[in-house]
Copies of this chain bind each other. A is one copy, B any other.
Amino acid sequence: HKEILKLNEDPRVHGVCLHLPPASLTSRVLNTIKPEKDVDGISDLNMGRLVRGDMSKGFVPPTASAVMELLERHEPPLTGKTVLLVGGEGPLGVALQCLIERSGMVALKSHGSSEVLQRQVMQADAVVLLQTGHMNLPPTWIKPGAAVISFEPSLMTGMLNVVRSSSHWLHEQQYKAWRLRSLKLQPLTPVPSDIEISRAQTPKPVDQLAEEIGLLPEELEAYGRTKAKVRLSMLDRLHAQPDGKYVLVAGITPTPLGEGKSTVTIGLVQALSAHLKLNSFACLRQPSQGPTFGVKGGAAGGGYAQVIPMEEFNLHLTGDIHAITAANNLVAAAIDARMLHEATQSDKALYNRLVPSVNGVRRFSPIQIARLRRLGIDKTDPGSLMPEEVSAFVRLDLDPSKVTWQRVVDTNDRFLRKITVGQASTEKGQMRETGFDIAVASEIMAILALADSLSDMKNRLARMVVGTSRSGQPVTAEDLGVSGALAVLMKDAIKPTLMQTLEGTPVFVHAGPFANIAHGNSSVLADKLALKLVGRNGFVVTEAGFGADIGMEKFFNIKCRASGLRPNVVVLVATVRALKMHGGGPNVSAGAPLPREYIDENLDLVAGGCRSNLRKQIQIAHLFGVPVVVALNVFKTDTQAEIDLVCQIAKECGASDAVPCHHWAQGGRGSLELAQAVNEATSRPNNFQFLYNLEIPIVEKIRTIAQKVYGADDIELSPEAKAKIDYYNQQGFGTLPICMAKTHLSLSHMPEKKGAPTGFILPIRDVRASIGAGFIYPLVGTMSTMPGLPTRPCFYDIDLDPVTEEITGLF
């Protein structure tokens, strides 16, 4: 206050810029400022800078030059940005529009209806209020960082209004414990089926959940009552908010039955949010419909640790996988059609069709100009191309035997693994062998998981390499002219889907790439949004696919590199069943009854598993400098002695803590111990580091993973793998990270080798690349990218009651 009084008297001071906490911006302080001084802004309000005209001339109506002066000296400069003129219908508005456009900004006049106005204000980089009555623009409409310029006579009052509501709004931005209404659980014994448990709980309306966790209504796009997509604009709004704590759930090498990473993840957030009252979010992958109707069943967790409604989670969700399928298959159709058209048309015919004359004018589209640039042709007039330039432009000249792009379907359809297409007479003999992968194995899914904005996703989609030309050049989606359409198809899929656990705590479901040939992690964007929403003291628990040697290694080396995020703790999920297997127990296989060793107490087998696989997986996490909490997912056949033994040895092996979890039978209450251990571990020292530097040669990166993570003595490259590595190096892809395609059933490449195998050489059969996703993937053995249906698939038991609309048989 006194400071301001002093400034008022200082002749050198022409303006006052207030940097004060909102609470102290009382009318007393504001009134202190002499009208002679410019009030040049109340910045740091997050909601944007509030700028005022030159008051030294008194309260005159604004002039075009006064507005221009303010706009032009704004920092950062507004060149190329959008300036919205609110209430400028008169001559001043017209004059300003001309001046603004001339100075390189984009002028926009406000529209009458309040909906349109809101949209315009939200998108504008600067808002000029030319009439009275507009100071009541809700501050939430204003884009963070946008300038607001007002000449209104009642400015002081108006400003105070804005300050008051923005201080309220700022308060809303701050971290605080959610007022989350958790849903009560009354677990039954024996535990009913997953679908029965899910159906017995009524989820909160998703808009209520969204409000509880601090989302604004305009950031939500509901899909029915229990699912909603969350807009990425939230990231801008909360960019100044500190991130919460980041917890990765990984597992030891699993049996073919799976060890419950998803249920541990869900149980943990139920415990953190609903019981310890700590903001926390689970980030999960969207399941494929293939396994849901095939062998494995759904993936919404299980027992009393589930995402609800589980049928919504397991079916179409909000259509992301369908969008990926549509985008992937549009690329495939474009490839084959293009090869046919190139094979059957002259350069001239192709050129005339690709660059047609529309109303007498021929013009390259932006996507075509991008291709010309890549070809080194710096022309924009279609008439000026030399014949050889036309030929280079129109012919992608894809080598049919080197098309790497496959079609996809989200169904376990084994007969599509290898097919011949183009056998109809209309395709003029252009047959070729190709195949379908399951949709989640699409590179577009990997991109969805790694993209950190819409433009990043669009760029990655354009970069995807679909094959090689006869002259050995990579051909991209952009070369096919399809990358804009792909971005359009994926524009909603990029928004994570909000759902809830059985106890009413929030969950993001987003992306779901395969963890064997792709990186197998949920999306960077879901994690980022969740980290902002939970705030400084909150927790985001995200899950990596398969064993820690695969999912966690890729999480660190690929996903964390893409996101820039650093995890605080790794939760390593183990089961007595899997530990016994690693300790030397007999084979475990889906469909067959479990051998007695897995039902009766057997401390020797347990100890063997702990001292081999569990120890090794803990060490792998420590390679990255992150503390580990072991979560023992307790089954009803586990004895207390077995449980105690696992926890004891895990701690001996370096785990920060090791605790049993009973979430399946008890929900969050059963995971309280784990929640406390995780909370505790976040205060441990954390020296995160990547395993390898991107600059080292591809072969060295592969060797590092094989030796340090898998425990191999060395790697052995097939001639094919060597040739591919040379090719990728030559194409400039040598600095991409590595995404190993290896069995998840062993630390080695041999599924039957349990425990922690040593003394083996890892054979690299082939090396491929997902340039859009941004990784090189060496193939260790044969990886199936299309599961099959068994004799009696899950769908036999799935049914719908047409009267109650209840689903049965999903699990």
Contact = CB atoms under 8 A, between A and B. Distances in A.
Contact of A316 (B221, B326, B427, B808): B326
A202 B411 contact: no
Nearest to A786: B424
B427 A423 contact: no
A804 interface: yes
Interface in A87-115: 113, 115
Interface in A409-459: 409-424, 426-427, 430, 433, 435, 453-455, 457-458
Interface in A756-811: 788-793, 795-800, 802-805, 807-810
A334 B789 contact: yes
A305 B424 CA distance: 39
Given A326-B411, A354-B792, A792-B354, A484 B336 contact: no
Interface stretch (A45-53, A126-134, A488-496, A658-666): A488-496
A360 B613 CA distance: 34
A521 interface: no
Nearest to A205: B115
Contacts of A492: 224, 316
A718 to B, nearest CB: 19
A487 interface: yes
A561 B336 CA distance: 42
A487 B802 contact: yes
A334 B366 contact: no
A237 to B, nearest CB: 16
A361 interface: no
- Count of this chain's copies in the oligomeric assembly: 2
A129 to B, nearest CB: 21
A367 interface: yes
Nearest to A483: B799
Interface string A113-131: 1011001000100000000
A637 to B, nearest CB: 15
Contacts of A802: 453-455, 457-458, 487
A422 B419 CA distance: 6
Contacts of A630: none
Nearest to A422: B415
A415 B333 contact: yes
Contact of A326 (B353, B410, B793, B809): B410
Interface string A194-210: 00000000100100000
Given A221-B224, A453-B802, A488-B799, 4 more contacts: A222-B223, A315-B489, A424-B435, A488-B800
Q: 8 shortest A-B CB distances, which residue pairs?
A: A484-B799, A455-B802, A322-B322, A485-B795, A333-B413, A353-B791, A418-B424, A417-B424
